[in-house]
Structure formats: C-alpha cells, structure tokens
A and B are shown apart, each in its own frame.
Chain A
Amino acid sequence: MSGPSRYDVADRAPRTLIDFMLRWETILIGLLIAVVIGNTIISPYFLDIYNLSDATFNFSEKAIIALGMTLLILVRDIDLSVAAIIALASLAMGLAADAGAGTGLLIPIGLGVGAICGAFNGLLVARIGLPSIVVTIGTMSLFRGLAQVILGDQAITKYPAAFQTLGQGYLIKWPPIPYSFALFLVLAAIFTFVLHKTAFGRKLFAMGNNPIAAQFSGIPVNRIRFWLFVLTGLLAGVAAILLTARIGSTRPNIALGWELEVITAVILGGVSIAGGAGTIPGVVLAVFILGLATFGLSLVNVPGIVISVLLGLLLIVSIAMPIVVRRLLKGKPVV
C-alpha cells in the first residue's frame, strides 16, 4: 500500500464561471460599480477628485478598525467596545494636550490607551474564558462611561496644529490622498498579505472553522485570540488619533455608534459572523461601497437618518441575494 495510490486525484477542482460569478467579491465589485454609476447620475459633483478625496476622510478611520474586526470575527470573536476605546484614547490625548504635550507624545498615548483597552478585553476573553460579546458589551459601557465621568459635558479643543495635520492633511497633493486614507490602504495591503498568504493567516481560518481541532493541531488558540484583541484596540487607538486630529476636539460622544458601522462593513464584506470565512479585499470593497453610498446620498441632501435606513436595506438585500440565487440554481424553494 505504500506504492502509488489506487486512486487518481487531481490537484484542484475544475473552475466554473458560475462559481466565479457567485463569489462574494465579484458581487461586491458589481455593487460598487452600481453605487458609482448611481451617484454620478444623481449628482454632478460626485465624480470630482477633490470631493472623492474628501469622502475618504469620513470612512478611513472606521475602515482601519474594520481590518482588526475582520480578524476577530473570523476567529469567532467580536469587539463591541472599539468606539468606546476611541473615546477613552481621545480623552487621554486631550488631557495630555491640555497639560502641554506635543504631537510626538500624543501619538504614543493614543496608541497605548488603545492597546491597553484591547489587552483588557483580550485577558477577559482568552485568559478567563468569558464570551467576547458579553465582555465587550461591558467594556463598551465601562470605557465610554469613564471618559464621560472624567470629561463631564465639556470638550477639549486645545490640540497643537501639527497634531491636527495628521487628521486633516494630505500625504500627496495630486491626486489628493489624505494621510488617513493612505494609512488605510497600506494597512489593508499588509492585512491582505498576512491573512491570505502566510501560515499565521491559515491558522486564523482554522481557528474560526474549528477551534478545538486547531488547538489539537498545535495552534496556540487563546494566545492568538488575546493578541487579536490587542491589535484591534491598537487600531482603535490609531482611529482615535486620526479622528481627534481631524475634528480638533474631544467630546464625550465622540465616535458614538461606530462599532456597528464597523461591523456592518465587515459583514457586508462577506465575513461569516459564525467565523471561519471571509477576505480582506471583500471588507475593503464593502468599506468603499458604504462610504461612497453615504457620500453620494449626502451630496443630494438626503438626511442622515434616511441614509442609515437605506444602508440597512442594502446590507440585508445584498446578504440575502446570493443565498436566494443559490437556492434558485439548485431548484430549492426560496422561502
């Protein structure tokens, strides 16, 4: 039996056009094109390079957090406290700025608070073994509450000009690319490489699909989960720096509700909420779709509340559609 196998086994399955068409990324690209065309029709100002560049300010910070959230959801965890981490990190930077700290000190403070908050979540989840959804609902109130108690109903607005440039300035003048957007693109490229090309990425997929078998295969499941929380906290710290610098102030309600917008992007990007499936390019496309759709609608003065209704519908329809199409192809009843 140690001779050649009794069976002929091909290296891979034959690829079919239907499989490619039904790939989530293909669908997202279609959706993105639809959003661009739709926006171009409803507003003559949409396809303006400066307007588009402006639009990226509004989603780059959330998009950066979405990268970390993607990895967490992939391994069956979640972090609902990311927006509250922004509040706490922004507060810490505000207090430091009040005390006269310069940009060189504010950046490590923002990053450090983010990472510490993430480590706190990670300890409770990976060390003590509490469910991440429960832990981060708790720390969401805890972190935000701390920020509110300390800040009261005031705002801190004394940030150095050099610091504010981080959130408002451009890395390249033409085409105009803001620092935040450039940072997102670089991080997205790194995340894509790590998740889809390295052994570490493969381990994350294994953990998401079967954490027990992953542990039995020598993967340090809980250690990795801990570090993913630290990473996501750190990215929330990055977002806190960019956002605080962009609006030049810290308020108690800063980034309120962002955690859901981040998770919306991750889910629309095709990451399974049950873990184990998803891609970074998918999430990047989803970020663009949501960001540009929001931007286009606001150009024609659709109120924010209506935009959120439309985005909710977009999420549900686009997630239901491939399932419905697959059932139709297999001749199964849709409902």
Chain B
Amino acid sequence: MVDEPILRLDHVTKQFPGVRALHDVHMALYPGQVTALLGENGAGKSTIVKILTGIYRPDAGAIHIGGKLQSFSSPRDAWRSGVSAIHQETVMFDDLTVAENIFMGHMPLRSGKRIDWQLMNARAAELLKSVDADFGSEVLLKRLGVAQKHLVEIARALSHDSRIVIMDEPTSALSAREISDLFLIIAQLKAEGRAILFISHKFDEIFRVADRWVCLRDGEHVGEGLIKDVEPRGLVKLMVGRPIDQVFPKKKIEIGEPVLEVVGLSNPTEFADVSFTLHKGEILGFYGLVGAGRSETMQALFGVSKATAGVVKLNGKTLAISSTADAIVSGIAYVPEDRQVQGTVLPFGIRENTTLASLHQHTDKGILSRVSEQKITRKLGGRLSVKAAHWEQRLNELSGGNQQKVVIAKWLATSPKILILDEPTKGIDVGSKAAVHEFMGELASEGLAVILISSELPEIMGMADRIMVMHEGRIVKNFTRAEATAEAIVTAATGGGHHAAA
C-alpha cells in the first residue's frame, strides 16, 4: 500500500461560542485505505466532516489534498477538490429523478444553459451500474427504499470522481444484507485507489472494513494507528478514558420507595418489553446509541405516542395515559431532546413559556393572572439562574443553555413527581451544562425521581445511580453505579453485551 497520504489535516482548531469543537487536530487519509474516525457523541467527528465538506471553515490549521494547500469556502469547493460525503440522513430531493439527484449542482449542460438530459441519464446509468444498483436513472427518488437511496448517494459521490469519500454512519439505517452490499462497494472504491473516511459507532463494522483508525475525545486527537494492531477494548478506553467521577456534582441521596414501575412496555416498531422501576430520589440513566428507542419509550410514557402493550404504575396505581395532558396531571414531566421544536415556543417570552404547562394554576375565575405568572417565573427563573434582560424576553433571543433552563422551569412549575430529561445538555455551553447537572442532583435530593437519557457517557456515569442500556429497542443490560464501566456500557450499547448475554 502507498504510504503517502492523499489528504492531511494539520493543527485544525474550530471554536463555537462557548464550545471548543476541535483543538489542534491532525489526521491523514491514504489512497486505497479506509480510515475509521472514532469518538463519542460530541467528540468532534461531525465538525471534521463539516470542515472537510466545506460547510465550516476552521479557525486555524491547514488542509492539504494531494500535497496542495486547500481552503474550502463552500461545499462546491470541496467537491471540486475531490471530497464528497455520504451523510447519516440522506439529504436529497424526493420528487426528482435519480439522475437529477446524482448531478444536482453540476448537471451536464448543452449550449444555452440547457440541461443535457441524454448525457446526464446515460452517465447516471453508468454510475448506478458501477454500484450494482437494481433501478434505473430516471426513477423518482421517492420510489426507492433507504438502502437504494444510499446507493444514489454513493453514485453522487462517484459522479464528482471524488478521490476522498466520507461515510458518516452509512449503515445506521441499513439491514445486515444491505450492509454487506455496502462493504462490497467500499472494497471496490478501495481497489480504485480512493481514500475513505468511515464513521461508525459499531465496532464489528469498523474491524471488518477499516485499515486505520483515528480517535478523538473532547475535540482533541488522542490516538491513531493500524486496525490490525488494536483491539476493541483498547479503542473504547481511548474514546471515553478520562477521570469523570470528580467532575460531576453527584450527591449522596437516600433512595426511597418505588415511584414508577414500568412492565413490558412495547410498541410494534420502536421498543419492546421495556421494564424498569424508578425510585424516589433516584436518577435513573438510559444510555444507548442514537435510534436505540430511548426517546420513543419515554414519549410513550409521557402520552405523546401510544404503547401497544405494557403496564405503567405510579405509586402502585395503574396509569392510563392517552395524552400529554394526562401525563402532566399524573405528575410526569418530560424535557424533550429537540429543544427548539418540542420544548419551547420561541416567539413567546420567558414568562409565557414558563407557565405554558401549568396555566390552570394561574387563573382566577378563568382569567389569567399576570401577577401570579410573574411570581412563579421570577422564582423558578431565579432558582435556575436564567440569564436574561427581562422576563418578557423572547426565547429566540436567549442562548441554548438559557432556553433549556426555561424549559426545565416550565416543567418544575407543574410540580412533577417524575422528571424525564432527554439529552438535557445536548448542544449547550459548558457553564449551563454544569448548572443543569447541579440542579438535577438538587431535585433528586428533594425527592423527585429523575430519568436521564443521555448519549454522553461521562454525563450518564457521573450523574446516574443506575444505568439502563438500550439496544435496538430493548433494555439489554443494567448497571449499578458501582459496577458500571465505560467499556461494559459501550459494549452493551453497540450490541456486544447482547450477544454475550444471549
């Protein structure tokens, strides 16, 4: 194999307000080789992808391709330099044909800027043949399945004749058979001398397909090497390894009697046979990969969707929850993952958001009392240290962290018995993150029962008393705080523990 890299990143740094996404990262990709990019959620993998595809510009550092210094200011520059990406969620046009999707942005033209349909369809057909597609170039994209759409993405990458192909979790939506097909295509791309950057959480795939690995943690390069020289265990340690226990303000809290008992909660597509017990004063962690069914399970508990089987008991009494209103009356509160869409009414002010789930507490003979609303807003907003100019300030003028504090305030205003936090610190700055962690512990010490869904290992290991690990819709393992190790949790979440246990 050739040892001269085709792409080199040197000393790349990228800073966002309040977050250091990448710090002095270096990486090399080699022709005819697959390099796996490893790291936890939030380690900086997608920032790398965005820099390589021209979506972000690095604050510092250099990109060399084929020995030449590059500076991408748009996705177009990136393809022209031979880099293209196949994304996690396919970004394509459903109502256009396969050929149009493949050549979007660089369609072959005849004189007068007219599209050369014949040439485009013919070239698309060739590309489809090279990836063994079983459909034509003039089919509408929406007629295709997920795996077939992936082939279109790959054909699109090839249409740029890219020397460098980035695959960002390309298998997350594919079946086992389709994954095998994808690996055949990867082998072919390798044989043609292309360099591939492969991002996946699944170790079995990485060990099947990759030649090299690079590992990131907290935006920093923490190691690289040849796949044949390492074992999964070593890589996991490198991905998560840091002294996390001291960072989290975990309080010693007396765990009380059971509050919520869930037995056999199921839904035909998203989750199956989920059972757990939540105690007073406890923080129960739910870990898993994206798509493991954690949010779906909690949304069924909260009445957003319906579970088709299972029993939910609150303080020994069976609950029948068919709407979010029912859940709120029962004392369940849910801080959703998608803050902007599910959590906040962005054009509303802080006061109106804070009282939205508990309006009936602020009415007198049907009339809303602004004084009463202001009182609770001042109290909870102050307790959570919301930073704002005034309590009528619109949520879309606040930072992500302060928006999240307002969402938490909204749920505390309902005086819940059970608080479900779904990725509560995702995408918020370090300061707000610490505030949320501290507050979570405080609420538990006041006797609230907390469910914490998180994809960040340090967070879940630092805050939770027990950890449930979900994989493909099921709880595959559970750990007490004492017995949890990062390796064991990740192994279970990636499906390893599942097979071992079976």
Contacts and interface: CB of A to CB of B under 8 A. Distances in A.
A11 B435 contact: no
Contacts of B385: 1, 5-7
Interface stretch (A91-99, A144-152, A207-215): A207-215
Given A197-B367, A212-B342, A276-B347, A5 B360 contact: no
A212 B381 contact: no
A320 interface: no
Interface in A174-205: 197-199, 201-203, 205
Contacts of A9: 378, 381-382, 386-391
A13 interface: yes
A7 B387 CA distance: 6
A107 to B, nearest CB: 28
B363 A218 contact: no
Contacts of B442: 1-2
A257 B396 CA distance: 39
A200 to B, nearest CB: 8
Contacts of A203: 359
B392 A11 contact: yes
A210 B346 contact: yes
A1 B443 CA distance: 12
Contacts of B438: 1
A255 to B, nearest CB: 34
B233 interface: no
A11 B372 CA distance: 12
A199 B360 contact: yes
Interface size range of chain B in the complex = 35 or more
Contacts of A7: 385-388
Interface string B355-372: 011011011001110000
Nearest to B339: A213
A11 B374 contact: yes
B175 interface: no
Interface residues of A, number: 32
B390 A217 contact: no
Contacts of A2: 383, 442
B368 A198 contact: yes
A104 interface: no
B439 A1 contact: yes
B336 to A, nearest CB: 6
A210 B345 contact: yes
Contact of A12 (B382, B387, B390): B390
A206 B383 contact: no
Given A1-B439, A12-B391, A209 B381 contact: no
Contacts of B348: 205-206, 209
B334 interface: yes
Given A10-B389, A219-B325, A213 B304 contact: no
Nearest to B435: A1
Contact of A202 (B302, B356, B374, B381): B356
Given A1-B385, A12-B391, A198 B325 contact: no
Nearest to A13: B390
A199 to B, nearest CB: 4
Interface in B253-270: none
B201 interface: no
Contacts of B439: 1
Given A199-B368, A206-B356, A216-B336, A5 B386 contact: yes
B386 A13 contact: no
Nearest to B439: A1
Contacts of A6: 385, 387
Interface string B283-316: 0000000000000000000101000000000000
Contact of A216 (B334, B362, B392): B334
A217 B410 contact: yes
Contacts of A216: 302, 304, 324, 334, 336, 342-343
User: Which of A7, A10, A218 is most buried by chain B, counting CB atoms within 10 A of its CB?
Assistant: A218
B342 A213 contact: yes
Contact of B392 (A13, A205, A206, A277): A13
A303 interface: no
A223 B304 CA distance: 14
A129 interface: no
Contact of B357 (A1, A217, A277): A217
Interface in B307-354: 323-325, 327-328, 334, 336, 341-348, 352
Interface of B: 302, 304, 323-325, 327-328, 334, 336, 341-348, 352, 356-357, 359-360, 362-363, 366-368, 374, 378, 381-383, 385-393, 410, 435, 438-439, 442
Given A1-B435, A9-B381, A202-B352, 14 more contacts: A1-B385, A2-B383, A9-B389, A13-B390, A198-B366, A199-B362, A202-B359, A202-B368, A205-B352, A212-B341, A213-B344, A214-B356, A216-B334, A220-B323
List the 7 closest A-B pairs by CB distance, nearest first: A5-B382, A199-B359, A10-B390, A218-B325, A218-B328, A217-B357, A210-B345
Interface of A: 1-2, 4-7, 9-13, 197-199, 201-203, 205-206, 209-210, 212-220, 276-277
7 contacts: A10-B389, A11-B390, A198-B368, A209-B347, A210-B344, A214-B345, A219-B325
